[in-house]
Amino acid sequence: MKYQKKYLYIIICIVMSITVSLHAQQTETIFGSGTDISFLWGIDNRSAEIQNDFGSMVGFYGGALINKSLLIAFSTGLNLAHPDVNQGYLGLLCQYTKEPQKLKHYSAQLFVGRGSTKDYMMPKTNAFDNFGNVTGPSFLVIEPGINIEFNLHEEYRAVVGLAYRHVSGLDESDVLINKTNVTNEDLSGVNLYLSLKIGKY
């Protein structure tokens, strides 16, 4: 009986020792235990010339903000102002911000996604005429950009920048099949980028 109790105590001590050891071990992760991850979302406006007319797109994005500097988000947008051409896009936005704690700081971004475009025989009567109707030829869009950011509040930032949109995938057959006159060159070019970012920094 004495020996049984002794062995029981030894087993209990071994089990407790293993349990404490396992509890002390930290789970290995890609970003590490000290990584700060929060959610950020925003609205943006991209303005550029398309077929000699002013075009504007209103968009929305949301995703993970890592260590207050790296944003990985889904982004989508639709044409708002162009009188003849509708377009829309959906894709991934990656943005890196340098020294985000300063009142004025800088960021660089890259958007990659798919879009669709449609043009009309008659000009639109107002900005919301046929809003969202972008069913037409699809294209690939790659858009790098650089920005200046201003901290309006602890959770709000205003962003002003320039981006270059490169569009590919539209070809001559689209003119006959889809009755569109929009080309890669029409949708490619420099555009002004304005955004309001909202999140917990």
pLDDT in tens, 170-180: 876 655 555 56
CB atoms closer than 10 angstroms to residue 136: 22
pTM: 0.78
> Which residue has better confidence, 175 or 102?
102
Choose the weakest-confidence range: 10-14, 69-73, 124-128.
10-14
* Contact between residue 140 and residue 88 where contact means Cβ atoms under 8 Å apart: no
Phi, psi of 22 (to 5 degrees): -65, -40
Query: Amino acid letter at 29?
Result: T
